[in-house]
Structure 1
């Protein structure tokens, strides 16, 4: 029995997606950290979450006015292997891993598509009220489903997605240990001016 490193497998998959799929070619996987976090159940809630490390326009510091007070908000510096990171993606364990393969892949593509086309640490912003997904989350996910279908047609894609074929119970049965990187969500520093 072997040890399964979930973050290493997800990082390999993400590196391949960004190398092969034009819609994600602007992403530098070395500046994106993959982590896992614990979830209570596999039936409801978030499966994954992207945490941008910059404000709109790639700014690290932003001044905002709330009522009669002004605040300076500063994004934290987060580095890994001496490389400054721009994004952290968290995958919920076991919730994400207990989904069917296609839903897991749609989730990976969904989170990656949030990365700004400028790759400046901010998220992709659509026009309108729902700037994260555009006018319809269902339409957004249908687009991701199309990206997944395209990706699965590329050579070796099934080799890289094989670890996602199983749920957590099967993974635990087939591996001596399951490991993954955990990191507390980076906190924005807020100072009243």
Structure 2
């Protein structure tokens, strides 16, 4: 059975009848999902995170950001007919998505492995402890100074890297062409509940797997003192 057009697996298959063997190619958005699941199991401060409710995609640049997290759900949408606003519903494999993490070009092109993992922790820490599709009010940068927030993330990162399985961490040291899930049609913001004629539901049909070049800086070798 051939994979669907929206499949985003770890292996790129050669064309039918082509003699070339299958070429393994890292699926970086899947690697991030596995990281999110493992972090939730090992970092108590992020134990409320549910990876099945997080969608990871690659996206366009946004100032100097490496990644962003966006709530994909209103906590209490107003009842139909009350003139409120709604957000498009995102479902992947039948599951309602509560948060979308977008990996920006700087994450791929100008980050160390530690920075990539730290960025994911940074974004997850913004999510509400209820993990209900909202952000934690006390962890917004407008309320919590960035320097203090970053110190907290550094401590979480150090603790996590001390116990993280090598197979979870290894993909973030990759260089070269990788696969990443992307929007074919990206959901907009909220819309008025009455009179809106645009798309209200987004699924795998609005996603596809594209190719991105990942560049990881080489570690500098420390010079040994002459004996």
TM range (shorter): 0.7 to 0.9
> Number of residue pairs matched?
167
Decide which of 160, 165, 185 is 1:151's aligned counterpart. Answer: 160
Aligned-pair distance for 1:192? 7.8
Matched, 1:5 2:27: yes
Matched, 1:102 2:137: no
Matched, 1:16 2:38: yes
Aligned-pair distance for 1:16? 0.5
Quick one: distance in 1 between partners of 2:78 and 2:118? Answer: 32
Give the alignment of 1:5-154 within 5 angstroms: 5-39=27-61, 45-55=64-74, 58-61=75-78, 72-93=84-105, 95-97=106-108, 98-126=110-138, 132-133=140-141, 134-154=143-163
Could you tell me which runs of 5 or more consecutive residues in structure 1 were left unpaired when the two chains were aligned: 63-69, 173-177
Aligned-pair distance for 1:39? 3.1
Aligned-pair distance for 1:84? 0.8
Does the 8 A contact of 2:87 with 2:191 survive in 1?
yes
Deviations 1:60-109 (A, max 9, x none): 349xxxxxxx962211111110011111110113x112212222222110
Quick one: distance in 2 between partners of 1:30 and 1:140? Answer: 26
Quick one: distance in 2 between partners of 1:86 and 1:125? Answer: 16
Quick one: distance in 2 between partners of 1:135 and 1:23? Answer: 17
Quick one: distance in 1 between partners of 2:92 and 2:58? Answer: 16
Larger relative contact order (CA 8 Å, sep ≥ 6): 1
Q: Aligned to 2:129, what secondary structure does the other structure show?
A: coil
In the alignment, which residue of structure 2 is the partner of 1:67? none
Q: Aligned to 1:50, what secondary structure does the other structure show?
A: strand
Q: Aligned to 2:181, what secondary structure does the other structure show?
A: coil
Structure with the larger strand share? 1
Where do 4+ consecutive residues of structure 1 move more than 4 Å? none
Does the 8 A contact of 1:61 with 1:75 survive in 2?
no
Which structure has the larger Rg over C-alpha atoms? 2
Q: Cα RMSD (Å) of the superposition?
A: 2.3
Could you tell me which runs of 5 or more consecutive residues in structure 2 were left unpaired when the two chains were aligned: 1-22, 196-227
Distance 1:135 1:155, change over 3 A: closer
